[in-house]
């Protein structure tokens, strides 16, 4: 391919890193030194050489990043689905012995159910990856009495007090102390 063809391919590329590699090869074809072309495209001369070899072997598709294998997940997709349903259902005092799940509790339940040993931080990472956030609503205590709570709310309401005009003016002040309107000093 010519340098103009490579530039057109770089414009059409959805991957910015691949486009940068294509442009570096186009610069070499235009007469730039390999070192200068690599520096202008943000890579080392040896890296540019490796990309040229890969382009010669595989074409422009070879300039894209390859998928990395990485470590396999500790829990399968099915197990992650079950874990997610546990978190959404919440803790049961009779079954789990707690009113609210902590990462330690989830770690212990994962070990008991799936036989997988995870660290607390790994449980937290798994929760974030599944879309759960650290903040949650406070659970209702099993021995709470909603009727008594409503009765307490009705009897403990404070009577509304009227504020005086000076208190309202003082509350508008940003300095924290009471001020009078129009009391600013004039510069001489």
Q: Is residue 73 helix, strand or coil?
A: coil
Residue 82, pLDDT score: 92
- The closest of 147, 86, 152 to 114, measured between CA atoms, is 86
Residue that has been written with the tokens 């759960």 in this structure:
132
Helices 103-114 and 120-129, packing angle to 10 deg = 90
Could you give the CA distance from residue 106 to residue 112 in angstroms, rounded to a whole number?
A: 10
Residue 94, pLDDT score: 85
Per domain, the residue ranges of the chain are 3-63, 77-129
Q: Specify burial of residue 39 (Cβ count, 10 A radius: 0-12, 13-18, 19+).
A: middle
Could you give the CA distance from residue 57 to residue 66 in angstroms, rounded to a whole number?
A: 15
Please state, as a whole number, how many other Cβ atoms lie within 10 Å of the Cβ of residue 121. Answer: 10
* Prediction pTM value: 0.42
Dmax (CA) of the chain: 87
- The closest of 28, 9, 27 to 18, measured between CA atoms, is 9
Residue 123, pLDDT score: 92
Could you give the CA distance from residue 131 to residue 126 in angstroms, rounded to a whole number?
A: 9
Residue 12, pLDDT score: 87
Positions in the chain short of pLDDT 70: 135-139, 156-188
Instruction: Write the pLDDT tens digit of every residue in 27-79.
Output: 999 999 989 999 998 899 999 999 999 989 988 888 888 888 888 888 889 99
């Amino acid at each position: 391919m010519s340098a103009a063809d490579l530039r057109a391919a770089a414009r059409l590329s959805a991957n910015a890193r691949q486009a940068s590699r294509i442009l570096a090869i186009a610069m070499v074809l235009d007469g730039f030194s390999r070192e200068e072309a690599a520096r202008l495209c943000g890579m080392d001369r040896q890296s540019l050489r490796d990309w040229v070899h890969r382009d010669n072997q595989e074409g422009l598709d070879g300039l894209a990043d390859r998928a990395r294998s990485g470590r396999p997940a500790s829990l399968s997709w099915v197990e992650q689905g079950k874990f997610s349903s546990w978190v959404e259902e919440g803790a049961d005092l009779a079954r789990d012995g707690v009113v609210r799940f902590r990462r330690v509790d989830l770690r212990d339940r994962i070990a008991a159910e799936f036989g997988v040993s995870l660290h607390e931080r790994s449980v937290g990472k798994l929760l974030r990856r599944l879309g759960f956030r650290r903040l949650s609503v406070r659970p209702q205590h099993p021995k709470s009495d909603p009727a008594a709570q409503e009765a307490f709310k009705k009897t403990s309401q404070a009577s509304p007090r009227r504020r005086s005009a000076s208190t309202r003016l003082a509350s508008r002040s940003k300095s924290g102390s009471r001020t009078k309107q129009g009391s600013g000093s004039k510069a001489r």
